[in-house]
A and B are shown apart, each in its own frame.
Chain A
Amino acid sequence: MNTASLAQSKNKASMGTSFRKNLPGWLLMLPSIVLFLFFVWEPLLESVRLSLYQSEGMRLVQFVGLQNYVDVFHDPDFPPAMRNTVYYTLWSLVIGFCVPMILAVLINETRGGRSLFKIGIYLPNIVPGMAMVLMWGFIFKPGNAGILNVLLSYIGIGPQPWLTNPAWTIPLIVIILTWQGAGATALLYIAGLQGIDPELYDAAIMDGAGIWKRVRYITLPNLFNLARTLLILQIISVFQILYQPLVMTNGGPNNASISIMQLVWKYAFEKYDYPKAGAVSVLISLILVVLTVAYFKLSKEKDL
């Protein structure tokens, strides 16, 4: 027996022991692994496979290679859907990314009634999604009967088109998203803020640092990792925006708000063309994987 094979068999033995040692751990993880396999990984791989076939309903009929992807690229709704999804994401960063941070700092600085504010900003989050979009539908309704237009009429401003103005549709939907989601994110930031050692602030104050310097040199660096994770999560979730435009504008007017997920929805539930729905889903996940990896690579050296 040479050294290499000796090392190998030792290795095997130690792996065996370590597996036995870790058995309770594996057992604990087993239900999650099974669930993941069944509900996440298997469907994921299945939709990749689906996207390479032609089908009748969900029955695969013929392998067609990348034809579904080619067809999807030639769909006249694909370019606007892709473009809009990028706009949703960018607008959500412009409008929505800083809001929770600001809310968190404000609440953190508040002396009394902090819980009241925390609950207040979190409440929109527990409104069921469908109720929320219907409510905002009434608020943004164009014509004389819309809630905002009624309010505007009191100060002498005529009715505005709101969501039916193609230039406003996406920013307005992002405002709704922010209203709904900022509270929950703010709570995470508050937790982050409260994890910062107060002695750092005391020391900074003694050194004569003002509020801006304290934010710049203590608060922001300490929140950096959290903010980065939340940024990625926000991009991933906004990239998959579906029901808000679907219900409020049905992707209109003239595709001004159609999102890439709505294209998936259209293929699957309007045309029963599941392979193309699968193809678009695969594209979405590829884009998100690339974005995430690129971002983490770029910001690696800044890790604290």
Chain B
Amino acid sequence: MRKAVFVLCMTLALVAMASAEKVTVRLGIWPEDTLTGDIAMHQGFVKDLNATYPDVTIVPAYYKYATDTFVSLAESGQLPTIFESWFTEPQKLIAGKFVKDVTAEVKALGWDKKMNKAVLELMSKDGKIYGVPRDAYALGLMLNVDLFKQAGLVDKNGLPLYPKTWNELAKTAKIIKDKTGAAGLCLLAKDNAGGWHFTNIAWDFGAKFEVQKNDKWVAQLNSPEAIAAMQYVKDLKWKYDVLTADPTNEDWGTGFRELGTGAAAMYIAAQDAVNQPTQVNGLDVKSLSLVPVPAGPKGQYSLMGGTPYMFANNATSAQVTASLHYLEIMGRAPMVNDKTIAGLKADAQNRQAQGVPVLPTFPAWTDPAFLKAQQDAVDAYRNVDMRLYNDYYVKVAQKDNLRTEEPYCAQDLYAELTKVLQAVVTDKNANIKALLDSAQKNFQPILDKTVNK
């Protein structure tokens, strides 16, 4: 396979040399070497692209974003033309001037008008656009259906009786722990992902972590609502004892492992990561369910965001446009034609073959024609019982359910909250008020320095 890719690269390189005006795109979103099925799919995309745009040369340049490699690549001008980053990164990458302003190119194709507004905002700064969404996500609650069955928590149709509120979640988790020995919930407290999940829990308890008062942004980490939410998390550990053995060692990836391998029954996660418990951790595609995040005393929210495609800051306008055309072929752009439909189908088919639930994506684009095409592709390759997912999709479509991250310095906010989480899940006598007071004291100066200048 590697040989084939090499030959392909060399051929493409030779072709590139033959004509000077040709545009060469180094494609960081090319699949890694071991994913031969995905590579075959992309080779098809390249063919399709070249049929319409013969001047574009695609060079596979697989790059998996990582914080320890990114800056060196960017500074030495070696970033692929287009690459995928994490949903946490766009503002940081924009601030460091690592990525190209693609406003003109995106507007020329009219995509800015077809992008979900909240997602557009995540990838923009000062009115300039720096990325396009691979897809968007909204957090929900993933269930290991097998564990629900073992615990007898299923209705007459065999569907899991999932918790609708956080209080119910504690009780459901307890039943599962008592009957199966597996943890009820995998709570994250190793890194910032812990704080990220916690903000969603706390919103349901009525917390708002950042508010604007008299033109100043004020942090509210120690509000009574945030304290109530933290108390709830503390109870999950010390009153109900339903968490995995060491939440301070659980991060985004291990959470999926616990869920996928049946070590935990519930996990806060989004629809864009359904390959994690299944394809990556071996859970049968039929044993996964995704339901809404439970409601708290003050509401029910789902944290939403988007996974960005971004562009090297040394990319030319022609290279960016060519990359956008490639996204079109992949079915990742708000365009509908035979090629994008084929791309969407190829993707759904590939997921089906890999044992990944084929689900409607969360719409990063708002173009109705595109959404319909996407839905058709998903319907054609459906491999799951949609009753295990419907409630989630209904809930996130409701008004006021979706919320984007807190607007400023979200990662610093998460870091502070994670420290408090670590304290409450490791110390039975932790003083929540005092811990959140000190988190507040640490975080407000960060807001002052960054936003209230």
Contact = CB atoms under 8 A, between A and B. Distances in A.
Contact of A142 (B67, B246, B420): B246
Interface in B173-191: 189-191
A172 to B, nearest CB: 14
Nearest to B423: A254
A173 to B, nearest CB: 14
Interface in B94-113: 95-98
A170 to B, nearest CB: 14
Interface stretch (B68-76, B145-153, B281-289, B346-354): B68-76
B97 A253 contact: no
A300 interface: no
The CB with the most chain B CB atoms within 10 A, among A57, A141, A144, A249, is that of A57
B271 to A, nearest CB: 27
Interface in B142-175: none
A252 B422 contact: yes
A141 B67 contact: no
Contact of B426 (A137, A143, A165, A270): A165
Interface string A134-161: 0001000111111000000000000001
Contacts of B244: 143
B379 interface: no
B251 to A, nearest CB: 8
A56 B420 contact: no
Contacts of B74: 57
A253 B426 contact: yes
Given A58-B71, A74-B445, A252 B248 contact: yes
A266 B419 CA distance: 15
B130 to A, nearest CB: 14
Interface residues of A, number: 28
Contact of A254 (B96, B411, B419, B441): B419
Nearest to A74: B445
A50 B191 CA distance: 28
A166 interface: yes
Contact of A253 (B248, B442, B445): B248
A252 B249 CA distance: 9
Contacts of B248: 164, 249-250, 252-253
B246 A252 contact: no
B446 to A, nearest CB: 9
Nearest to A71: B449
A255 interface: yes
Given A137-B249, A165-B426, A58 B75 contact: yes
A59 B33 CA distance: 33
B245 interface: yes
A87 interface: no
B125 interface: no
Interface string A247-286: 0011011110000000000000111101000000000000
B92 interface: yes
A74 B445 CA distance: 9
A56 B92 contact: no
A254 B445 contact: no
Contacts of B411: 270-271
Contact of B67 (A58, A145, A270): A270
A272 B71 contact: yes
B245 A250 contact: no
A63 B225 CA distance: 43
Contact of B71 (A57, A142, A146, A161): A57
A253 B245 contact: no
B400 interface: no
A56 to B, nearest CB: 5
A76 interface: yes
Nearest to A137: B249
Interface in A100-133: none
Given A57-B96, A76-B441, A146-B245, 9 more contacts: A56-B96, A59-B97, A141-B246, A143-B244, A145-B245, A166-B423, A253-B248, A270-B67, A272-B70
Interface of A: 56-59, 74, 76, 137, 141-146, 161, 164-166, 249-250, 252-255, 269-272, 274
13 contacts: A57-B97, A58-B71, A58-B75, A76-B416, A142-B246, A164-B426, A252-B248, A252-B422, A253-B189, A254-B435, A255-B419, A269-B68, A270-B411
Closest 8 A/B residue pairs (Cβ): A143-B245, A253-B422, A76-B442, A254-B423, A252-B422, A253-B426, A164-B426, A269-B67
